[in-house]
Amino acid sequence: MTKMSADVVIVGGGIIGCATAYYLAKQGVTDVVVVERDFLASGSTGRCGAGVRQQWGLKMNILLAKESIKAFETLNEELDTGLDIEFKQQGYLMLAYTEKMVEQYKKNVALQQSLDVPARLISPAEAREIVPYLNTDGLLAATFCPTDGHINPFTTTNSYAIAARRLGVRIMTGTEVTGIEVKDGRVVAVETSAGKIHTNAVLNASGGYSREVAAMAGVDLPTYPERHQILVTEPVAPIQGPMVISLHHGFYCQQTPHGSFIMGFGDPNELKEHVVSSTWHFMEEMAAKVLPVLPPLAQLRVVRQWAGLYNMSPDAQPILGEAPACRGFYNAVGFSGHGFMLGPVTGMLMAELISGKEPHIDISPLSLERFEKGELLREPSVV
């Protein structure tokens, strides 16, 4: 590395790091370095289920997701890299099996519609029209939003990186951040395995390692890693348009544009450690959850399974903004499994904040200080 200074150093080469670099450069802040320990999208971004949805029960999440999907819709044209992000925009179908779920989904849809998200509450018969082999036994209702969908996380992240490089951003892969130098309460440098980079602004976009990176700057983040496992099947002819989610059974299931099915579930007993190895019994548990709802999938052969890290926060909502304890140290962390789908809007907002502009969406409710104030944000429970 020849130049040992930068206006901004971004720690983490996932979608949030690369998107922020691109949007910074787009508004003229081109002296930016992205430092990634491995390869781009090697962490949580490349290990996610890659679904993107606007069907939330919290206004902040709806606003962020809505703007990200708007960006995804035109990202191929904007970045113009020759790569295709493979946005399969065929919706999310969210299933309700209890009266509590139905009532909460009614409230969620009303909020979504008030924010111009085209979601609607539908009957079991309508749900089966959307997914013909859906077993509707016990199903009371569902919600559907046709503009939700699925995206390729690798081509998306690399498209942002290519476009950022084109604008002057430097991206250092295979480079580890080993320390962050702070003087008089302000960031002054980042130590890496390739040398020291002098800077006055650092963005922590390191996903499952966010707490460790923040600690280098003397910042205490209440985040922790949580393993989540996923499997992918052989490719078959298109038979399922939308992502199907059943929080009652605890799974999500999506057919990709290439024909493979990606599916996973949240296990409350999963390891809260930096472990990304998968377990032998995961496939059996997955089958027990998904096959009663989508029986024909029993015929599919599983070709691979893997695990990734959710970067969890105490309220399962992201932490965005400058750390009060360290000037020039910014966080975009704690997405609790939703970082990929919020990547574009997070990149825009962090670029605005770091460059001294007022973020176009008020992100103060997502500040680190909310935990001290007891002002936590939570999605309404449906189970």
Taking the C-alpha atoms of residue 204 and residue 209, their distance in angstroms, rounded to an integer, is: 9
Tell whether 383 is covered by a domain. no
Do 23 and 39 sit in the same domain of this protein?
yes
Do 167 and 305 sit in the same domain of this protein?
no
Chosen domain end from 312, 329, 348: 312
- pLDDT computed for residue 17 by the predictor: 98
CATH number where 119 lies: 3.30.9.10
Q: Which residue, among 216, 177, 157, has the nearest Cα to 20 in the 3D structure?
A: 157
Tell whether 72 is covered by a domain. no
Do 265 and 302 sit in the same domain of this protein?
yes
Do 233 and 282 sit in the same domain of this protein?
yes
Tell whether 321 is covered by a domain. yes
Domain count, the chain: 2
SS3 assignment for 220-275 = CCCCEEEEEEEEEECCCCCCCCCEEEECCCCEEEEECCCCCEEEECCCCCCCCCCC
Do 235 and 307 sit in the same domain of this protein?
yes
Q: Which residue, among 310, 380, 315, 382, has the nearest Cα to 49 in the 3D structure?
A: 310
Do 228 and 279 sit in the same domain of this protein?
yes
Tell whether 65 is covered by a domain. no
Do 297 and 166 sit in the same domain of this protein?
no
Q: Which residue has the tokens 């949240």?
A: 266
Do 98 and 122 sit in the same domain of this protein?
yes
Taking the C-alpha atoms of residue 375 and residue 372, their distance in angstroms, rounded to an integer, is: 8
Tell whether 267 is covered by a domain. yes
Tokens matching residue 272: 């809260």
Give first-to-last CA distance, the chain, whole Å: 52
Chosen domain end from 277, 296, 312: 312
CA distances from 201 to 103, 110, 178, 354, 370 (A): 45, 40, 16, 7, 22
Taking the C-alpha atoms of residue 311 and residue 170, their distance in angstroms, rounded to an integer, is: 26
- This prediction has a pTM of 0.97
Do 163 and 205 sit in the same domain of this protein?
yes
Chosen domain end from 312, 328, 345: 312
Tell whether 63 is covered by a domain. no
Do 295 and 238 sit in the same domain of this protein?
yes
Do 237 and 117 sit in the same domain of this protein?
yes
What averages of pLDDT result for each successive group of 10 residues across the chain (383 residues)?
Answer: 83 98 97 98 96 98 98 98 97 98 98 98 98 98 98 98 98 98 98 97 98 98 97 97 96 96 92 93 95 97 96 98 97 97 98 97 97 95 89
Tell whether 57 is covered by a domain. no
Tell whether 168 is covered by a domain. yes
Do 232 and 350 sit in the same domain of this protein?
no
CATH number where 200 lies: 3.50.50.60
Domain around 143: 88-147+224-312
